[in-house]
Amino acid sequence: MKTNQSKLIKKRSEIEKLRKASTISSALHSLAMSQTVIGKSETDLATYLNKQRECTKASGWAYPTIIGSAGRSTILHAKPTKKILNENELVLVDMGVKYEGYCSDITRTWPAGKKFSKEQKVIYQIVLNTQKECIKRVKPGVSLYDLDDFCRKDLLDQLRSKGIVKSKNIDRYFTHKTSHWIGQDVHDKCPYQYLDKSPVILSPNMCFTIEPGLYFKESKSKYEGIGIRIEDVIRVTEEGGETLSQVPKEIDEIEAIRAIKI
């Protein structure tokens, strides 16, 4: 019942290109995170990143860069606008390059100023906890459906236990899937199910993203307007998962970078 396995399992040479794409993208994310952005617009940041990308060996972007600040962080595919960034706002940057035909796809969310607000911090930590737990669960034998089920449950459990939501359904706050395959296409055209509809089981050298998010669009609460997504590129190894993207994601690491700003 195998289907299109050849494209699912990446060759060593393909993995090296995926790794390089993620290394370059990670460097660009770290640069973005270290910029002074207060008083500048989302498009100013995008323009800066375009210029920086031209200084790398990447051939271009893997997909149009998403930059959403403040309430726009809750928009799934926010195109950068002239909106000016202010103190106390979040900036969500979803950006990845293409290198020798292979893609990266990374998202980080950070404060425009020096620090996350109390509410932003609570939601950020929930998404980060879930993302790290999902990565820990990657190993041959599990499926992307297993990871998605875990992710949705873990996000909801944390939100409910903190009294942030009463809903028993996470879908309103987490409006996309946890993972997609990545390769020559950012959403690599590989199957998620075998021909008998059973889920594709992870094997070494399959590559995909893990990207939990929480988006409080119209929650009429103190969390309204908070959108957080944390996304990394993962390769399945013999016994677990290797994260190909390396950008700071702990709150104290991000706040340390935001405190310096270049």
Contact mark string toward Mn ion, 104..123, x via CB under 5 A:
-x------------------
Q: How far apart are CA 113 and CA 142, in angstroms?
A: 40
| Closest residue to Mn ion in the complex (CB) | 105
Quote the least distance from Cβ 106 to Mn ion, whole Å: 8
Q: How many CB atoms lie within 10 A of CB 260?
A: 9
The C-alpha angle with vertex 169 and arms to 157 and 125, in degrees rounded to 5, equals 40
Quote the least distance from Cβ 92 to Mn ion, whole Å: 12
Q: Is 148 in the site for Mn ion (CB under 5 A)?
A: no
* Nearest CA among 237, 179, 241 for reference residue 204: 237
Quote the least distance from Cβ 221 to Mn ion, whole Å: 27
Quote the least distance from Cβ 63 to Mn ion, whole Å: 8
The C-alpha angle with vertex 98 and arms to 92 and 101, in degrees rounded to 5, equals 155
Which two tokens mark 132? Answer: 């790290």
Measured from the CB atom, the residue of 164 and 214 that comes closer to Mn ion is 214
Measured from the CB atom, the residue of 14 and 105 that comes closer to Mn ion is 105
Give the number of C-alpha atoms closer than 13 A to the C-alpha of residue 189, restricted to the C-beta side. 2
Contact assessment for residue 71 and residue 78, using Cβ atoms and an 8 Å cutoff: no
Measured from the CB atom, the residue of 22 and 85 that comes closer to Mn ion is 22
Measured from the CB atom, the residue of 18 and 164 that comes closer to Mn ion is 18
Which two tokens mark 134? Answer: 């999902």
Question: Which among 48-56, 77-85, 98-106, 140-148 is the span making contact with Mn ion, rule CB under 5 A?
Answer: 98-106
Q: Which pairing describes strands 60-61 and 66-69: parallel, antiparallel, or unpaired?
A: unpaired
Q: How far apart are CA 49 and CA 32, in angstroms?
A: 7
Count, residues near Mn ion per rule CB under 5 A:
2
3-state secondary structure 55-77: CCCCCEECCCCEEEEHHHHHCCC
Quote the least distance from Cβ 176 to Mn ion, whole Å: 8
* Residues 196 to 215 in contact with Mn ion, rule: CB under 5 A: 209
Which two tokens mark 12? Answer: 């060593």
Contact mark string toward Mn ion, 160..199, x via CB under 5 A:
----------------------------------------
Measured from the CB atom, the residue of 72 and 229 that comes closer to Mn ion is 229
Measured from the CB atom, the residue of 115 and 177 that comes closer to Mn ion is 177
Quote the least distance from Cβ 213 to Mn ion, whole Å: 10
Q: Which residues bind Mn ion (CB under 5 A)?
A: 105, 209
